[in-house]
Amino acid sequence: MKTTLSLLAGATLILTGAAAQAQDFPNKTVTIVVPFAAGGPTDTVARLVGQAMSTTLKQQVIVENVGGAGGTLGAGRVARAAPDGYTVLLHHIGHATSATLYRKLPYDTINDFAPVGLVTDVPMTMVAKKDLPPKDFKELIAYVQQNKDKVSYGNAGIGAASHLCGLMFMSALKTQMTTVAYKGTGPAMNDLLGGQIDLMCDQTTNTTGQIKGEKIKAYAVTTKTRVPSLPNLPTMDEAGIKGFEVSIWHGVYAPKGTPKPVIDKLSEALKVALKDENVVKRFAELGTEPVAQNRATPDALGAHLKAEIAKWAPVIKAAGEYAD
């Protein structure tokens, strides 16, 4: 009896301590770990959102860049962090694809993190060098199938969204192209502009200006609906490949074991941030927009992460291209 009472008393103290910790949260700076170098699209998203979240949390929110190994170093840092809400991760689609691209990870992509909420979906575009013969996407499909490995497709490296988009495109067409991997989107775009490669799939943040300046040819967007900044560009679904959807989505995660009240406070701060006028304006300039409020939640991000892992695993395995 005494043992049972002692255990109950201990459990009560733990719960009381956790509740007090959550009620006091935050009482110091919150760090958003971005698993990529400063200055990139994910870093920009994190800094905009973090600054807006700090208003609601009434504490400074800073960004720490922990790049390397396709984003897995930064993710691992957060997985090992204290589950108190003061260290969180802002990652993109790579958090889902790394579960298959890396056959050995120092963390469990689903079970070692507590989802906070989705942030944004950045559309992608299928673009080509200016003088590629096909006039529209339907002609492009036929052109790729007829010329097969004579067509060169550039990407920003294994695991990059441009790489994944290419794998999905080739899988849909059941046709292989000659893949050229670069160390980043910049060099790939430079070669596309110079005509050294034929095709690439890249996010609107990097292609919209080139498309509007007629420096490259655009065939389609990879989202379910057309992109407001490129209204005349059809979706891949409209243009001939049903169900084709790829976007660079971002989400916020805390370490596993972070108390639910803390997660709820972070999620609420995220929701408020995504309605911030400056965030909405700057996202629009980047060719994207904040997710709907019902998607900036732990449940929505958790479900989306699992769905994306399931979506990409067979594509990556079929290609047999791994990052380790």
Find all residues with CB under 8 Å of 242, minimum gap 6, and list them: none
| Amino acid at the residue 55 | T
| Amino acid at the residue 234 | P
What does the pLDDT profile of the chain (324 residues) look like in tens digits?
555 555 555 555 555 555 666 789 999 999 999 998 888 788 999 999 999 999 999 999 999 999 888 899 999 999 999 999 999 999 999 999 999 999 999 999 999 999 999 999 888 999 999 999 999 999 999 999 999 989 999 998 888 889 999 999 999 999 999 999 988 788 899 999 999 999 999 988 789 889 999 999 999 999 989 988 899 999 999 988 998 999 899 999 999 999 999 999 999 999 999 999 999 999 888 778 999 999 999 999 999 999 999 999 999 998 888 888
Cα distance between residue 164 and residue 300, in whole Å = 23
